[in-house]
Amino acid sequence: MKRQVKIMKPTPNEDKILHQEKEIFDLKQLLQISKSLNSVLQFDRLIEAILYVVMAQLKTFGAAIFTKKSFDDNLFVLNRDHHGFDISRDIQYSINVDHPLISFLDKSDSGHTPDEISRHIKIDKIVKDLFSLRPSFFVPLKAKNRMIGFLLLGEKIESSHEFTDYEKSIIENIASLAAIAINNSQLLEMTTTDIMTHLKLKHYFFTLLMERLDTINSSSFKKDALSILMLDIDFFKQVNDTYGHAAGDIVLEEVARVIKSCTRNADTAARYGGEEFVVMLNNTPSNAAMAIAERIRKLVEDKVILYNGQSIKVTISIGVSSYNFDLEPAKSIVERADKALYESKQNGRNRVTLSKNNLPKC
């Protein structure tokens, strides 16, 4: 005779206790999320952190964020860090801040499904492109009553594609924390970025460099390499005297664009002053740093800069130094790169020179 096992259902009171325990757990999670997000101010790292938090907490296969490229931009564009979406190279995933979809999302806090959006606004090509990503939910990101972007959630891991009211409240809270963190990061970006070149300012560069050296000098990071590039535009005064200061500004912008194109998210490029630039290359030994410097030098040499129908060509000189793990201060590493830059200038310009401290001893 088989023994029957009776499954006891939770009583209403037990259900209530379980729900309260879940709420307490979720509140603790939100507190941890808040601490985590507000401790990361570098924009790219922050976006990555937000996406992982969203996927873990909301149990989705993917997440993506649309934000502005600059504080005063009129477009929300898909951030290059995204997970779980099949991105087409033929589509530019961007949307104007005045688009009806943005206005519709701005009226909500917790967000909307694609079906809800379809019932309320006209589906044009821009919205079709977003829908082609097959998102399960659109979530507005608001800080100080201002929409600073929106979040796309991928397909839910669980079988149900519908978010419950409780889940929507969690989404709203996470979105609010994410928006505040993004807004703070953008404000920091404004105060630490050179307006003309869009590279970092000198004082902020040194702050990041000192932090990086502290990390390297800790026991678990002793083998991490770090290199510095000092770059200067050759005969820049002649450009200003010949074509005018407006042309000189364009030359600075174009050279900065080349420098940025040759660096990674983990690196930091800054305007050091005037026509001089500095770059911190993380996890990069001197031989790799020399190759990067040579690539920048060649790209600038080959570039033709157009201004008022005139073609302008410039060259740059570069000095390279690398950290040698002897507790050398940040200022000293930069000064060594600066001395190497001076050697490049003395030896004919338009060349790359490695600091004598990094050369092999005979």
Active site residues: 275
Distance CA 61, CA 31 (A): 23
Distance CA 313, CA 298 (A): 12
Grouping H, G, I as helix, E, B as strand and the rest as coil, residue 202 is helix
Q: Which amino acid is at 145?
A: N
**CA-based nearest residue to 181, from 28, 48, 27, 29:** 48
Distance CA 129, CA 135 (A): 11
Grouping H, G, I as helix, E, B as strand and the rest as coil, residue 138 is strand
Distance CA 104, CA 111 (A): 9
146, 173 Cβ separation under 8 angstroms = no
Grouping H, G, I as helix, E, B as strand and the rest as coil, residue 152 is strand
Grouping H, G, I as helix, E, B as strand and the rest as coil, residue 351 is coil
Distance CA 84, CA 154 (A): 7
320, 353 Cβ separation under 8 angstroms = yes
Pairing of strands 75-78, 63-67: antiparallel
Distance CA 133, CA 129 (A): 7
Q: Report the greatest alpha carbon distance in the chain.
A: 103
Cα torsion 77, 78, 80, 84 to 10°: value is: 180
Cα distances (angstroms) measured from residue 23 to each of 28, 59, 355: 9, 17, 58
Both tokens assigned to 301:
């040499």
Distance CA 351, CA 342 (A): 11
Helix (H) or strand (E) holding 102: helix 100-106
Distance CA 95, CA 68 (A): 10
